Structure 1
Amino acid sequence: MTKTTRFSGVNYLKIHRQRVKGKTFDFLRLPLYFLIALLCILSSPVLANVPGVLNSSSQLVINSVTNTSPLQQGKVLFDAGNFAQAVNVLQQAAQKYKQQGDKLRLAATLSNLSLAYQQLGAWTEAQQAITDSLNLLKQQGKNQNLQVFAQSLDIQGRLQLAMGKVEAALATWEQTEEVYKQAKNQSGIMRSQINQAQAWRTQGFYRRAVETLIKVNQTLQSQPDSIAKTVGLRSLGDALQVAGELEMSRQALEQSLVIAQRLQSNADIGASLFSLGNNTRNIRTQEQKQQAIAYYIQTEKVSPSPLTRATAKLNRLSLLIEDKQLAQAETLLPSIESQLEQLPPSRAAIYARINFAQSLTKFPSRNSDSAILLAKAIKQSRSLGDKRAEAYALKSLGGLYEETKQWSEAQKLTQQGLILAQTSNARDIIYTLEWQLGRLLWAQKDINGAIAAYDAAVETLQYLRSDLVAVNQDVQFNFRDSVEPVYRQSVELLLQSQGTQPDIKILEKARQRIEALQLAELDNFFREACLQGQKVPLDQVVQDNPTAAILYPIILPNELQVIVKIPKQPLRHYNTKIRQVEVEKILTELRKSLVNPTASKAVENQSQQVYNWLLQPIESELQASGVNTLVFVLDGALRNLPMAALYDGKQYLVEKYAIALSVGLQLLDPKPLVQKQLKALTAGLTQPPANYPNYAPLPAIKSEFNGITEAGISTTSLLDGQFTSKKLETEINTVSFNVVHLATHGQFSSLAENTYILAADGPIKVKNFDSFLRSQDKTRVELLVLSACQTAAGDNRAALGLAGASVRAGARSTLASLWQIDDESTALFVSAFYQELKGGKITKAEALHRAQLQLLKHPNYKAPSFWSAYVLIGNWL
């Protein structure tokens, strides 16, 4: 029996990893540098200043740093992260200025008070304070001090964004920019523009946000060297990093560093080095991780800020642990302990302790220190009156109790943290506490309570949908650890809660939840909420077109579940008891076999296994129901495989059914294709650009395009040098095409920045597809064909890029290849597909089906590697 030591408060404990129903948990799932970014607004809060003396950058500032006025004391406390004490001091200052009749200082103090209240999650008080501040300024005449008015507006915008009023925040920051222009405050203008970019992103307007940031960059370039410029460039770099533009971010941060070095400002040198470290670590290659560590070491050497130095060392520690360099990591522990002890009380110091507690669990000899650190964090957060920090610390300590199976203590701490987080409106912490509570109740066999807790966690995540993808670059890599498991475990719990008779409501809830996960994956992929618009449920489409069945495979830790919708029948499900790692291993092996034309026998053996999981239990009912089309809503690693290649022991699936894929449970505007009105824009490269030598020529593209024309489809063609991104956009703007056929190299990846197609002038990234294919609100493209693309080798989530391309294009349907196929067989396939599409009143799925069968029957192309690579995503009608 495993021995555990019980503990309470600051008592020592010995931590053991715990497995609950096949799931392994760590007591903390969000690395600190990610969580801090979740809690902070894009650019640093700027407290409103009052008239004083002008500094070198012509900004009004508080009289002097040594000034001991209540307002200055509040600012010092705020900057130190002591928000509760800052509130007390600022309240006293407000009372003093009110008695003195000093309306300007009272207005500035109230706006600062609002900002401090925001940090504590006291939204009502924050709203009242900023309203009073702005009313005072308006009574005085806002032109009396434009600086204070602009800064109060800035703070109002922050409050509006934090409360989910994005459009109001955007309007406020646009007004703030105009006021700063009147005040001739260039750094204020740029800060307002960066804030507007965040609001655009939160609304899902990625390109508008990036355009705004590029505008900021252009303004910064014309400025002379100054502290304001280095800070502005660093804010720009951090904002671009959040937006996923890592290369543009790096350039801005490097320029910020150079200017800071010229100005010999160690504080700004350290801050820029730290941001560069965070930027570099997100590229995730071994070389870049080492470069990130080098940046952190330089930060520790040069920064005068104890907190910056400690955070840099903590990030360096987390990278070493991530790379399993535990011996080297352990040498950092004593110095980190010493640094943390010297930090003054603040929220950032509390989070640093929690971060360190997380890291210490990786060293068995130091695990007992985690409880002491977390107990100190709780005590310190209470002394500061910081409910948000206390909630996070309680969640973490509850996680430690969870590890040692001390369920009641863990549940008590978790519920305490949840109440605090709810009173602070800290949804990014709330969902982790709801998730933790769900696991604890599940472990104690309280299934109904666990389902309720998981439901609450998913609902909170849905509310956070845009925030989670807009806040921080590291979410791209923490999604699988901190968001995806909530959905999967919830589905597993729902399906396990069923009795012997299937519960239709639970099955419906389970498939809706797996769809919510898939939408969250796409949001995470693009870092914005991407699926908008009118959608029709697939069940309704099947009801109107009763020859299609829908299958929803769901990969869970210890089983593979399949939910099936057959026309005119209720939902049903079945499962195979098999571990997720085994499923993924078999799928990976099958994928490798499929791309090899000589491996047909291996394909048959491996794909039959997958067929038995997904279809064998329902095959007889499918045949009896008259179904001729199978629509798959695929999950996880299954998305990297073509379902057409599944083998029943005698036939491939494509020999029996037309097959399509759906990104979710709904279709955007599902309508059949009108064959007589097909008008196609074809664009292709027979020769890749000179600076892309790794891509082979595609000489058969000309015959591919000829085949489209010979099928009787009206075409406009852009070939080789004519196929530039600008020319493509111009053509789509000029003429309404319902088919866009792109025959060029491209790659689908699990990272949006690595998903693109090649034009003569370079790559067109998936993030830009919408601007090309949905220009000027023209008619939605019916069909997008990507005939020579491939999923990135070695990326087991690369099909996210394919799904993302389909969604981003806004096309009703997308036909693409999972891997690059023989050039000549592609031309034959494309010609056959368009002939079928044009020739008869059939669905796009059936046209694909018939074209694949033609290749399968061809003596040179009967291997699955040739015909199975093509998949149809979206509307199959």
Structure 2
Amino acid sequence: ENKFPDKAFRYAESMKARVFLDQLAEGLVNLEEGIKPELKTKRDGIENHLARLQKKIQEEAAKSKPDKERIASLKEERSGAEAELEAVKRNIRYENPRYASVKYPEPVTIEELQRRILNQDEVILEYFIAETGVYCFVVTPDKSEIIRLTDQVEADVNEWVEFLKTHQPLSAVKRTLAERLYAILIKPVEGYLQGKTVVIVPDGVLARLPFESLLVPAEEGMTFLVEKHRLKYVQSASILALIRTKYDREGLSDRFIGFGDPVYDYESFKAGSPEKGSDVEGGTKLAQLSRSGYLRSGGKLDRLMGSGKEVQEIVKLFGDKGQIGKPLLRIEATETYAKDKGMEDYGYIHFSTHGILDDKFQAIALSQIPGDAEDGFLTLGEIMNSRYHARLVVLSACQTGLGKMERGEGVVGLTRAVMYAGTPATVVSLWSVSDEGTKELMVRFYENILKKKMTKDEALREAKRSMRASEDYRHPYYWSAFVMYGE
């Protein structure tokens, strides 16, 4: 396991990039937007030339008496074309690093992480689920190690997450389960974590798991991991490197825009009647996905009445600090506005709406307006082709249960799309929390950023800890649903 650590690490990083590309293919995402036409034309021409050369080599080699000199000449020409293609790709990486990070991912190495990416007070825990078991790559500024943790962890993770979503009392059986997950995932690497910010790179089903909810044995009794360590998540170590080396942090706005309480039952809304919600099949894209088996049919997009109050409370916080806060509620919470060029003017973008984190399909559900040019679902591809030059995007009501989030890839895919759109940090909920509970945590989170000047990951951790200390919201159902990807 530790004989070729860097090679194994790069393989794990490449697999994470491959999963995301597969998600984009499933969603028919156009990645070509944003590339200079001349670079695209040159790249396409070289790739076509390479394909023709390869065909000629194969045809010559298949002859009963192949011409070895011609084959050698063709291979030499191919090598030149490959070098030319790499030069074009380097230009694309330079001109459009976000596009290149998806289309032509270059996995970061352990040495690069240690030399120029990691801060002295950080440790990366990159998990990788392989056929041979569950592994953890531990990387600090001066050490690295691969540790095999267990044969499999999926059943335990799913059982614990399903418990968290039910808001049931913590029984002895569930306590033992949370302790066991801690013993598997954290205890073997515990010696690296003291005094460090822990950067978690999940894999597969582990993206469903809020690590903060794991129970840590202590002399004075059990405590949750959120009390012991400051955690943040990244989709991959290569994404962390991209954020820290390529993202322009200059000129970011302090303005806030929030989408809340969308209209999902337009006819009832128009008539002034109680809204019953809309069928999942109401959206064209989702109807197709339901029929193809990607989503469970019969789901409803019910009204999120508390989400409007959540947005208004946050807008008030920004107003108190003399900053602009714009609420887009009810019929104004539209996909059209979410894709508008004016979104570039906001530093904080908040979606308090339904959302879908299916393993094969991800979208933010906005107002469903009959006859509108947009269908109301802001999809993975549409997010990626937007330009959100923001400090933070929050998806505060995202997991509705409409999708099959069995492996957790939807979480990573959606947050990665937001990153690609121009925002280095995304807060996402792993399941739907009560309106009041969500509002309470989000208000505390923004207060910590605006009034206490905390970093985003610190602000989220302290909001969770304060919720845990309260009588009404101490259950991890309320506070552990929210995780932050990026920084």
User: What band does the TM-score fall into relative to the shorter chain?
Assistant: 0.5 to 0.7
Match of 1:742 among 333, 351, 366: 351
Please report the RMSD computed on the Cα atoms of aligned residues, expressed in angstroms: 2.8
Q: Which residue of 2 aligns with 1:428?
A: none
Equivalent position amino acid for 2:154 in 1: E
Count of equivalent residues: 359
Give the Cα separation in 2 of the matches to 1:684 and 1:793.
19
Match of 2:147 among 574, 583, 590: 574
Give the Cα separation in 1 of the matches to 2:402 and 2:336.
29
Q: Verify the 8 A CA contact 1:791 1:802 in the aligned structure 2.
A: no
1:412-423 equivalences in 2 (<5 Å): none
1:857 aligns with 2:469: yes
Structure 1: state its 5+ residue gaps: 1-494, 496-501
Question: What secondary structure sits across from 2:305 in the alignment?
Answer: coil
Please list the CA deviations of residues 799-853 of structure 1 after superposition, one character each: whole Å capped at 9, or x if unmatched: 3222222222222111110100010011111111111112344321111101111
Q: Which moved more, 1:784-793 or 1:585-594?
A: 784-793
What is the deviation of 1:621? Answer: 3.3
What is the deviation of 1:536? Answer: 10
Match of 2:301 among 679, 691, 695: 695
Q: Which residue of 2 aligns with 1:523?
A: 21
What is the deviation of 1:755? Answer: 3.6
Q: Which residue of 1 aligns with 2:384?
A: 770
1:781 aligns with 2:349: no
1:860-871 equivalences in 2 (<5 Å): 860-871=472-483
Q: Verify the 8 A CA contact 2:312 2:327 in the aligned structure 1.
A: no
Q: Which residue of 1 aligns with 2:79?
A: none
Larger relative contact order (C-alpha < 8 A, sep ≥ 6)? 2
Q: Verify the 8 A CA contact 1:684 1:742 in the aligned structure 2.
A: yes
Give the Cα separation in 2 of the matches to 1:806 and 1:575.
27
Q: Verify the 8 A CA contact 1:685 1:698 in the aligned structure 2.
A: yes
Q: Which residue of 1 aligns with 2:166?
A: 596
Q: Which residue of 2 aligns with 1:724?
A: 334
Larger CA Rg, structure 1 vs 2? 1
What is the deviation of 1:618? Answer: 2.3
Distance 1:860 1:820, change over 3 A: same
Q: Verify the 8 A CA contact 1:821 1:865 in the aligned structure 2.
A: yes
Equivalent position amino acid for 2:410 in 1: G
Please list the CA deviations of residues 754-779 of structure 1 after superposition, one character each: whole Å capped at 9, or x if unmatched: 544233433222221123x31xxxx6
Question: What secondary structure sits across from 1:723 in the alignment?
Answer: coil
Equivalent position amino acid for 1:658 in 2: R
Question: What secondary structure sits across from 2:396 in the alignment?
Answer: strand
Question: What secondary structure sits across from 1:620 in the alignment?
Answer: helix
Give the Cα separation in 1 of the matches to 2:30 and 2:18.
8
Q: Verify the 8 A CA contact 1:608 1:647 in the aligned structure 2.
A: yes
Q: Which residue of 1 aligns with 2:367?
A: 759
Give the Cα separation in 1 of the matches to 2:133 and 2:16.
19
Give the Cα separation in 1 of the matches to 2:437 and 2:250.
27
Q: Verify the 8 A CA contact 1:564 1:573 in the aligned structure 2.
A: yes
Q: Verify the 8 A CA contact 1:683 1:719 in the aligned structure 2.
A: yes
Distance 1:599 1:523, change over 3 A: farther
Give the Cα separation in 2 of the matches to 1:546 and 1:622.
12
Alignment TM-score, normalising by the size of structure 2: 0.67
Q: Which residue of 1 aligns with 2:135?
A: 561
Match of 2:99 among 508, 532, 541: 532
Give the Cα separation in 1 of the matches to 2:132 and 2:416.
31
Equivalent position amino acid for 1:853 in 2: R
Q: Which residue of 1 aligns with 2:181?
A: 610
Give the Cα separation in 2 of the matches to 1:763 and 1:523.
21
Distance 1:514 1:605, change over 3 A: same
What is the deviation of 1:634? Answer: 0.8
Give the Cα separation in 2 of the matches to 1:621 and 1:669.
24
Give the Cα separation in 1 of the matches to 2:131 and 2:415.
29
Q: Verify the 8 A CA contact 2:259 2:352 in the aligned structure 1.
A: yes
Distance 1:783 1:692, change over 3 A: same
Match of 1:587 among 157, 174, 182: 157
Q: Verify the 8 A CA contact 2:14 2:107 in the aligned structure 1.
A: no
> More helix by proportion, 1 or 2?
1
What is the deviation of 1:695? Answer: 2.9
Equivalent position amino acid for 2:214 in 1: L
Equivalent position amino acid for 2:13 in 1: E
Give the Cα separation in 1 of the matches to 2:30 and 2:123.
29
Q: Verify the 8 A CA contact 2:252 2:390 in the aligned structure 1.
A: no
Structure 2: state its 5+ residue gaps: 32-97, 267-276, 280-299, 370-375
Question: What secondary structure sits across from 2:161 in the alignment?
Answer: helix
What is the deviation of 1:711? Answer: 2.7
Q: Verify the 8 A CA contact 1:743 1:787 in the aligned structure 2.
A: yes
Distance 1:840 1:677, change over 3 A: farther
